[in-house]
């Protein structure tokens, strides 16, 4: 832990440049999350009878919100996030077939 050399550390200015989302951007992202959540709740309350519409609709909203949070709040859109992306995508690639197969075996 003692041999930290700041002079040879990562080139800072580059990272700073890609870090430009700011307070405003985060407030917009927060508002977007609230709106997407509200849309999902409203959809279920008013169109709950129409399952074939509502279920894809709320799942779609959930995926949009997840992507927004990954890329805005978890800094995935910044530079140097290729490996994090590989990590997350490989997780999804492993689990998505499992979920789909479970659904297929149980419900179709």
Partner 1 sequence: MIHDHGVLPAEPEKATLEGRNKVLGFWLFLGGETVLFGSLFATYLALKESFVGGPSPEELFDLKIVALATILLLTSSLTSVFGVMAMHKHNTKLMQLWFGITVILGAGFLGLEVYEFYHYYHEGHTLTSNAFGSAFYTLVGFHGGHVAFGVTWIALLQAQLAKKGLTVVTAPKFYVAALYWHFVDLVWVFIFTVVYLMGKVGA
Should residue 87 be labelled a site residue for partner 1 when binding is judged by CB under 8 A?
yes
Binds partner 1 by CB under 8 A, chosen from 34, 46, 77, 108: 34
State the CB neighbour count (10 A cutoff) for residue 65: 19
Interaction of residue 51 with partner 1, rule CB under 8 A: yes
- Asked if 39 touches partner 1 (CB under 8 A), the answer is no
Distances (CA, A) of 53 to 35, 40, 47, 59, 102: 19, 12, 8, 10, 22
The Cα 26–Cα 38 span in angstroms is: 18
Judged by the rule CB under 8 A, the positions of this chain that interact with partner 1 are: 1-2, 4, 6, 9-10, 12, 15-16, 19, 23, 26-27, 30, 33-34, 37, 40-41, 43-45, 48, 51, 54-55, 58-59, 61-62, 65-66, 69-70, 73-74, 83-84, 87-92, 94-96, 98-99, 101-103, 105-106
């Amino acid at each position: 832990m003692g041999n930290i050399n700041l002079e040879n550390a990562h080139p800072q200015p580059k990272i700073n440049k890609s870090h430009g989302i700011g307070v405003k951007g985060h407030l917009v992202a927060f508002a977007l999350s609230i709106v997407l959540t509200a849309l999902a709740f409203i959809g279920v309350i008013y169109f709950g009878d129409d399952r074939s519409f509502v279920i894809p609709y709320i799942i779609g909203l959930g995926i949009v919100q997840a992507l927004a949070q990954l890329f805005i709040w978890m800094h995935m859109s910044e530079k140097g996030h290729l490996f994090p992306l590989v990590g997350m995508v490989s997780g999804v690639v492993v689990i998505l077939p499992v979920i789909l197969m479970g659904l297929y075996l149980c419900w179709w």
